[in-house]
Structure 1
Protein backbone atom coordinates (compact mmCIF):
# COMPACT_ATOMS: atom_id res chain seq x y z
CA UNK A 1 0.00 0.00 0.00
CA UNK A 2 0.98 3.39 -0.57
CA UNK A 3 1.89 6.03 1.97
CA UNK A 4 -1.11 8.10 2.99
CA UNK A 5 0.85 11.28 2.97
CA UNK A 6 1.85 10.62 -0.56
CA UNK A 7 -1.67 11.19 -1.74
CA UNK A 8 -1.85 14.72 -0.31
CA UNK A 9 -1.25 17.58 -2.69
CA UNK A 10 2.00 19.29 -2.54
CA UNK A 11 2.01 22.78 -1.09
CA UNK A 12 4.18 25.35 -2.69
CA UNK A 13 5.59 27.87 -0.31
CA UNK A 14 5.38 31.47 -1.48
CA UNK A 15 6.02 34.82 0.20
CA UNK A 16 2.32 35.57 0.61
CA UNK A 17 1.80 32.25 2.25
CA UNK A 18 4.76 32.91 4.52
CA UNK A 19 3.24 36.33 5.63
CA UNK A 20 -0.11 34.65 6.42
CA UNK A 21 1.62 32.08 8.54
CA UNK A 22 3.39 34.82 10.49
CA UNK A 23 0.14 36.77 11.14
CA UNK A 24 -1.55 33.60 12.31
CA UNK A 25 1.33 32.91 14.63
CA UNK A 26 0.85 36.37 16.32
CA UNK A 27 -2.84 35.75 16.79
CA UNK A 28 -2.26 33.71 19.87
CA UNK A 29 -1.47 36.80 21.98
CA UNK A 30 -4.42 38.71 23.63
CA UNK A 31 -4.47 42.50 23.30
CA UNK A 32 -6.71 44.53 25.64
CA UNK A 33 -8.45 47.69 24.34
CA UNK A 34 -7.15 50.96 25.66
CA UNK A 35 -8.41 54.57 25.77
CA UNK A 36 -5.86 57.26 26.43
CA UNK A 37 -3.63 54.59 27.78
CA UNK A 38 -6.12 53.40 30.43
CA UNK A 39 -7.46 49.91 30.90
CA UNK A 40 -11.22 49.32 30.68
CA UNK A 41 -11.64 48.86 34.47
CA UNK A 42 -9.88 52.20 35.03
CA UNK A 43 -12.21 53.94 32.53
CA UNK A 44 -15.24 52.45 34.29
CA UNK A 45 -13.90 53.54 37.71
CA UNK A 46 -13.29 57.11 36.51
CA UNK A 47 -16.75 57.20 34.90
CA UNK A 48 -18.38 56.06 38.16
CA UNK A 49 -16.43 58.68 40.12
CA UNK A 50 -17.54 61.43 37.72
CA UNK A 51 -21.15 60.18 37.92
CA UNK A 52 -21.07 60.19 41.74
CA UNK A 53 -19.56 63.69 41.77
CA UNK A 54 -22.28 64.93 39.41
CA UNK A 55 -24.94 63.27 41.57
CA UNK A 56 -23.49 64.74 44.77
CA UNK A 57 -22.78 68.26 43.55
CA UNK A 58 -25.57 68.23 41.02
CA UNK A 59 -28.17 67.76 43.76
CA UNK A 60 -28.80 71.46 43.53
CA UNK A 61 -29.69 70.99 39.89
CA UNK A 62 -31.91 68.12 40.91
CA UNK A 63 -33.58 70.29 43.53
CA UNK A 64 -34.01 73.09 41.00
CA UNK A 65 -35.50 70.71 38.46
CA UNK A 66 -37.69 69.17 41.20
CA UNK A 67 -38.76 72.65 42.38
CA UNK A 68 -39.64 73.62 38.82
CA UNK A 69 -41.64 70.44 38.39
CA UNK A 70 -43.34 71.01 41.76
CA UNK A 71 -44.23 74.53 40.61
CA UNK A 72 -45.67 73.13 37.38
CA UNK A 73 -47.59 70.52 39.37
CA UNK A 74 -48.98 73.21 41.68
CA UNK A 75 -49.98 75.35 38.68
CA UNK A 76 -51.70 72.37 37.06
CA UNK A 77 -53.50 71.56 40.34
CA UNK A 78 -54.60 75.18 40.58
CA UNK A 79 -55.88 75.07 37.02
CA UNK A 80 -57.70 71.82 37.77
CA UNK A 81 -59.27 73.34 40.89
CA UNK A 82 -60.30 76.39 38.88
CA UNK A 83 -61.75 74.13 36.19
CA UNK A 84 -63.68 72.19 38.86
CA UNK A 85 -64.99 75.46 40.29
CA UNK A 86 -66.00 76.69 36.82
CA UNK A 87 -67.70 73.38 36.16
CA UNK A 88 -69.58 73.61 39.47
CA UNK A 89 -70.65 77.17 38.63
CA UNK A 90 -71.73 76.06 35.16
CA UNK A 91 -73.74 73.20 36.67
CA UNK A 92 -75.33 75.62 39.15
CA UNK A 93 -76.21 78.02 36.32
CA UNK A 94 -77.60 75.18 34.23
CA UNK A 95 -79.72 74.03 37.17
CA UNK A 96 -80.84 77.61 37.85
CA UNK A 97 -81.90 78.08 34.24
CA UNK A 98 -83.59 74.68 34.21
CA UNK A 99 -85.52 75.74 37.33
CA UNK A 100 -86.35 79.08 35.69
CA UNK A 101 -87.60 77.28 32.58
CA UNK A 102 -89.72 74.95 34.71
CA UNK A 103 -90.99 77.96 36.69
CA UNK A 104 -91.72 79.82 33.47
CA UNK A 105 -93.66 76.84 32.15
CA UNK A 106 -95.65 76.70 35.40
CA UNK A 107 -96.21 80.47 35.24
CA UNK A 108 -97.32 80.17 31.62
CA UNK A 109 -99.75 77.40 32.55
CA UNK A 110 -101.05 79.47 35.48
CA UNK A 111 -101.38 82.53 33.23
CA UNK A 112 -103.22 80.47 30.65
CA UNK A 113 -105.57 79.06 33.29
CA UNK A 114 -106.06 82.55 34.76
CA UNK A 115 -106.74 84.01 31.31
CA UNK A 116 -109.23 81.20 30.60
CA UNK A 117 -110.91 81.86 33.96
CA UNK A 118 -111.05 85.61 33.28
CA UNK A 119 -112.39 85.00 29.77
CA UNK A 120 -115.10 82.72 31.18
CA UNK A 121 -115.94 85.33 33.83
CA UNK A 122 -116.07 88.09 31.21
CA UNK A 123 -118.27 85.93 29.01
CA UNK A 124 -120.63 85.20 31.91
CA UNK A 125 -120.69 88.90 32.83
CA UNK A 126 -121.33 89.87 29.21
CA UNK A 127 -124.16 87.34 29.02
CA UNK A 128 -125.61 88.61 32.31
CA UNK A 129 -125.22 92.24 31.18
CA UNK A 130 -126.83 91.49 27.84
CA UNK A 131 -129.71 89.70 29.57
CA UNK A 132 -130.10 92.63 31.96
CA UNK A 133 -129.99 95.09 29.04
CA UNK A 134 -132.57 93.05 27.14
CA UNK A 135 -134.75 92.98 30.25
CA UNK A 136 -134.35 96.76 30.73
CA UNK A 137 -135.15 97.44 27.10
CA UNK A 138 -138.09 95.07 27.31
CA UNK A 139 -139.33 96.88 30.42
CA UNK A 140 -138.75 100.22 28.74
CA UNK A 141 -140.70 99.04 25.71
CA UNK A 142 -143.45 97.67 27.94
CA UNK A 143 -143.46 100.94 29.89
CA UNK A 144 -143.69 102.90 26.63
CA UNK A 145 -146.47 100.61 25.45
CA UNK A 146 -148.28 100.99 28.79
CA UNK A 147 -147.79 104.77 28.67
CA UNK A 148 -149.06 104.80 25.10
CA UNK A 149 -152.03 102.68 26.19
CA UNK A 150 -152.71 105.05 29.10
CA UNK A 151 -152.42 108.02 26.77
CA UNK A 152 -154.73 106.32 24.30
CA UNK A 153 -157.23 105.44 27.05
CA UNK A 154 -156.92 108.98 28.46
CA UNK A 155 -157.39 110.39 24.97
CA UNK A 156 -160.40 108.16 24.40
CA UNK A 157 -161.82 109.23 27.79
CA UNK A 158 -161.16 112.89 27.07
CA UNK A 159 -162.84 112.55 23.70
CA UNK A 160 -165.70 110.65 25.32
CA UNK A 161 -166.00 113.34 28.00
CA UNK A 162 -165.86 116.04 25.37
CA UNK A 163 -168.41 114.21 23.25
CA UNK A 164 -170.63 113.62 26.30
CA UNK A 165 -170.23 117.24 27.41
CA UNK A 166 -171.03 118.51 23.98
CA UNK A 167 -173.99 116.14 23.69
CA UNK A 168 -175.26 117.07 27.16
CA UNK A 169 -174.98 120.77 26.34
CA UNK A 170 -176.95 120.22 23.24
CA UNK A 171 -179.56 118.17 25.09
CA UNK A 172 -179.69 120.57 28.01
CA UNK A 173 -179.86 123.51 25.72
CA UNK A 174 -182.67 121.92 23.72
CA UNK A 175 -184.70 120.48 26.61
CA UNK A 176 -183.82 122.72 29.50
CA UNK A 177 -185.48 126.05 29.85
CA UNK A 178 -185.66 128.71 32.57
CA UNK A 179 -188.29 126.88 34.58
CA UNK A 180 -186.28 123.71 34.61
CA UNK A 181 -183.27 125.77 35.76
CA UNK A 182 -185.33 127.20 38.59
CA UNK A 183 -186.60 123.77 39.64
CA UNK A 184 -183.06 122.31 39.50
CA UNK A 185 -181.63 125.16 41.59
CA UNK A 186 -184.43 124.69 44.18
CA UNK A 187 -183.76 120.99 44.30
CA UNK A 188 -180.01 121.49 44.84
CA UNK A 189 -180.64 124.08 47.60
CA UNK A 190 -183.09 121.77 49.30
CA UNK A 191 -180.48 118.93 49.19
CA UNK A 192 -178.00 121.04 51.12
Structure 2
Protein backbone atom coordinates (compact mmCIF):
# COMPACT_ATOMS: atom_id res chain seq x y z
CA UNK A 1 0.00 0.00 0.00
CA UNK A 2 1.97 2.49 -1.24
CA UNK A 3 -0.84 4.94 -1.42
CA UNK A 4 -0.92 5.30 2.36
CA UNK A 5 2.65 6.36 2.30
CA UNK A 6 2.30 8.92 -0.39
CA UNK A 7 2.22 12.43 1.10
CA UNK A 8 0.07 13.61 -1.74
CA UNK A 9 -2.61 11.14 -0.71
CA UNK A 10 -2.64 12.46 2.82
CA UNK A 11 -2.71 16.01 1.60
CA UNK A 12 -5.67 15.12 -0.59
CA UNK A 13 -7.40 13.33 2.35
CA UNK A 14 -6.71 16.29 4.64
CA UNK A 15 -8.01 18.63 1.98
CA UNK A 16 -11.21 16.62 1.59
CA UNK A 17 -11.70 16.48 5.38
CA UNK A 18 -11.00 20.19 5.61
CA UNK A 19 -13.43 20.90 2.83
CA UNK A 20 -16.10 18.70 4.43
CA UNK A 21 -15.59 20.30 7.85
CA UNK A 22 -15.41 23.84 6.52
CA UNK A 23 -18.01 23.46 3.79
CA UNK A 24 -20.94 22.92 6.16
CA UNK A 25 -20.46 25.97 8.36
CA UNK A 26 -19.16 28.03 5.46
CA UNK A 27 -22.13 26.93 3.37
CA UNK A 28 -24.49 27.84 6.17
CA UNK A 29 -22.72 31.15 6.65
CA UNK A 30 -22.62 31.88 2.92
CA UNK A 31 -26.25 30.73 2.56
CA UNK A 32 -27.26 32.86 5.55
CA UNK A 33 -25.43 35.84 4.12
CA UNK A 34 -27.01 35.27 0.73
CA UNK A 35 -30.45 34.81 2.35
CA UNK A 36 -30.06 37.98 4.42
CA UNK A 37 -28.77 39.87 1.41
CA UNK A 38 -31.66 38.50 -0.66
CA UNK A 39 -34.12 39.58 2.05
CA UNK A 40 -32.51 43.03 2.24
CA UNK A 41 -32.62 43.39 -1.56
CA UNK A 42 -36.24 42.22 -1.57
CA UNK A 43 -37.10 44.75 1.15
CA UNK A 44 -35.33 47.52 -0.80
CA UNK A 45 -37.17 46.50 -3.97
CA UNK A 46 -40.47 46.52 -2.07
CA UNK A 47 -39.61 49.94 -0.61
CA UNK A 48 -38.61 51.22 -4.06
CA UNK A 49 -41.86 49.88 -5.54
CA UNK A 50 -43.83 51.53 -2.73
CA UNK A 51 -41.97 54.82 -3.24
CA UNK A 52 -42.53 54.60 -6.99
CA UNK A 53 -46.27 54.07 -6.47
CA UNK A 54 -46.38 57.04 -4.06
CA UNK A 55 -44.45 59.16 -6.57
CA UNK A 56 -46.85 58.17 -9.35
CA UNK A 57 -49.79 58.97 -7.09
CA UNK A 58 -48.28 62.37 -6.21
CA UNK A 59 -47.52 63.04 -9.88
CA UNK A 60 -51.10 62.19 -10.85
CA UNK A 61 -52.38 64.40 -8.02
CA UNK A 62 -50.20 67.33 -9.08
CA UNK A 63 -51.16 66.87 -12.72
CA UNK A 64 -54.83 66.93 -11.69
CA UNK A 65 -54.22 70.04 -9.58
CA UNK A 66 -52.39 71.65 -12.50
CA UNK A 67 -55.30 70.87 -14.84
CA UNK A 68 -57.72 72.27 -12.26
CA UNK A 69 -55.59 75.40 -11.85
CA UNK A 70 -55.40 75.87 -15.63
CA UNK A 71 -59.17 75.42 -15.91
CA UNK A 72 -59.71 77.90 -13.10
CA UNK A 73 -57.30 80.36 -14.74
CA UNK A 74 -59.16 79.99 -18.04
CA UNK A 75 -62.47 80.57 -16.24
CA UNK A 76 -61.08 83.66 -14.50
CA UNK A 77 -59.72 84.95 -17.81
CA UNK A 78 -63.03 84.34 -19.58
CA UNK A 79 -64.87 86.10 -16.75
CA UNK A 80 -62.44 89.03 -16.91
CA UNK A 81 -62.88 89.32 -20.68
CA UNK A 82 -66.67 89.21 -20.33
CA UNK A 83 -66.54 91.79 -17.53
CA UNK A 84 -64.27 94.06 -19.61
CA UNK A 85 -66.65 93.81 -22.57
CA UNK A 86 -69.61 94.61 -20.29
CA UNK A 87 -67.77 97.57 -18.80
CA UNK A 88 -66.85 98.77 -22.29
CA UNK A 89 -70.50 98.57 -23.38
CA UNK A 90 -71.59 100.47 -20.25
CA UNK A 91 -68.89 103.10 -20.76
CA UNK A 92 -69.94 103.50 -24.39
CA UNK A 93 -73.60 103.84 -23.38
CA UNK A 94 -72.68 106.33 -20.64
CA UNK A 95 -70.54 108.30 -23.08
CA UNK A 96 -73.38 108.37 -25.61
CA UNK A 97 -75.80 109.55 -22.92
CA UNK A 98 -73.35 112.22 -21.71
CA UNK A 99 -72.79 113.43 -25.28
CA UNK A 100 -76.56 113.58 -25.86
CA UNK A 101 -77.01 115.58 -22.61
CA UNK A 102 -74.25 117.99 -23.57
CA UNK A 103 -75.70 118.38 -27.04
CA UNK A 104 -79.13 119.12 -25.50
CA UNK A 105 -77.53 121.61 -23.12
CA UNK A 106 -75.67 123.29 -26.00
CA UNK A 107 -78.86 123.45 -28.05
CA UNK A 108 -80.70 124.95 -25.04
CA UNK A 109 -77.93 127.54 -24.61
CA UNK A 110 -78.09 128.36 -28.33
CA UNK A 111 -81.89 128.74 -28.10
CA UNK A 112 -81.52 130.96 -25.03
CA UNK A 113 -78.87 133.03 -26.79
CA UNK A 114 -81.14 133.36 -29.83
CA UNK A 115 -84.09 134.40 -27.63
CA UNK A 116 -81.87 136.87 -25.78
CA UNK A 117 -80.56 138.27 -29.07
CA UNK A 118 -84.12 138.65 -30.41
CA UNK A 119 -85.20 140.35 -27.17
CA UNK A 120 -82.15 142.64 -27.29
CA UNK A 121 -82.92 143.55 -30.93
CA UNK A 122 -86.57 144.23 -30.04
CA UNK A 123 -85.59 146.34 -27.04
CA UNK A 124 -83.10 148.26 -29.13
CA UNK A 125 -85.69 148.71 -31.88
CA UNK A 126 -88.19 149.98 -29.30
CA UNK A 127 -85.57 152.32 -27.84
CA UNK A 128 -84.71 153.61 -31.33
CA UNK A 129 -88.41 153.99 -32.21
CA UNK A 130 -89.15 155.80 -28.95
CA UNK A 131 -86.11 158.02 -29.46
CA UNK A 132 -87.12 158.77 -33.05
CA UNK A 133 -90.73 159.35 -32.05
CA UNK A 134 -89.64 161.60 -29.20
CA UNK A 135 -87.41 163.61 -31.51
CA UNK A 136 -90.11 163.75 -34.17
CA UNK A 137 -92.79 164.83 -31.70
CA UNK A 138 -90.56 167.38 -30.06
CA UNK A 139 -89.69 168.84 -33.44
CA UNK A 140 -93.28 168.94 -34.78
CA UNK A 141 -95.49 169.52 -31.71
CA UNK A 142 -95.50 172.77 -29.80
CA UNK A 143 -96.08 173.20 -26.04
CA UNK A 144 -99.84 173.81 -26.34
CA UNK A 145 -100.40 170.59 -28.40
CA UNK A 146 -98.17 168.63 -26.00
CA UNK A 147 -100.24 169.71 -23.01
CA UNK A 148 -103.46 168.68 -24.77
CA UNK A 149 -101.99 165.25 -25.58
CA UNK A 150 -100.87 164.75 -21.97
CA UNK A 151 -104.32 165.68 -20.68
CA UNK A 152 -105.96 163.30 -23.15
CA UNK A 153 -103.56 160.49 -22.14
CA UNK A 154 -104.31 161.05 -18.44
CA UNK A 155 -108.05 160.82 -19.01
CA UNK A 156 -107.67 157.70 -21.12
CA UNK A 157 -105.41 156.16 -18.52
CA UNK A 158 -108.13 155.84 -15.93
CA UNK A 159 -110.33 154.09 -18.50
CA UNK A 160 -107.61 151.72 -19.52
CA UNK A 161 -106.69 150.74 -15.95
CA UNK A 162 -110.23 149.75 -15.01
Q: TM-score, normalised by structure 2?
A: 0.71
Post-superposition offset of 1:162: 1.3
Q: What is the aligned partner in structure 1 of residue 121 from structure 2?
A: 156
Post-superposition offset of 1:53: 6.3
Q: What is the aligned partner in structure 2 of residue 3 from structure 1?
A: none
Q: Distance in 2 between matches of 1:186 and 1:144?
A: 45
- Where in structure 2 are the equivalents of 1:12-23 lying within 5 Å? none
Answer yes or no: is 1:70 the counterpart of 2:56.
no
The structure-2 alpha-carbon separation of the partners of 1:52 and 1:170, relative to structure 1 and needing over 3 Å to count, comes to closer
Answer yes or no: is 1:137 the counterpart of 2:102.
yes
More helix by share: 2
Alignment match of 2:4 (pick from 25, 28, 36): 36
The structure-2 alpha-carbon separation of the partners of 1:52 and 1:167, relative to structure 1 and needing over 3 Å to count, comes to closer
Could you say what the CA RMSD is over the residues aligned between the two structures, in angstroms?
3.3
Post-superposition offset of 1:51: 8.4
Q: What is the aligned partner in structure 1 of residue 46 from structure 2?
A: 81
Alignment match of 1:181 (pick from 138, 141, 150): 150
Off by >3 Å, runs of 4+ in structure 1: 49-53, 58-63, 170-176, 186-192
Q: How many residues align?
A: 151
**Residue segments in structure 1 that go unaligned for 5+ positions in a row:** 1-32
Q: Distance in 2 between matches of 1:154 and 1:73?
A: 118
Q: Distance in 2 between matches of 1:80 and 1:186?
A: 135
Q: What is the aligned partner in structure 1 of residue 21 from structure 2?
A: 54
Q: TM-score, normalised by structure 1?
A: 0.62
Post-superposition offset of 1:72: 0.7
Q: Distance in 1 between matches of 2:91 and 2:2?
A: 121
Q: What is the aligned partner in structure 1 of residue 70 from structure 2?
A: 105
- Of 67-76 and 165-174, deviating more is 165-174
Q: What is the aligned partner in structure 1 of residue 55 from structure 2?
A: 90
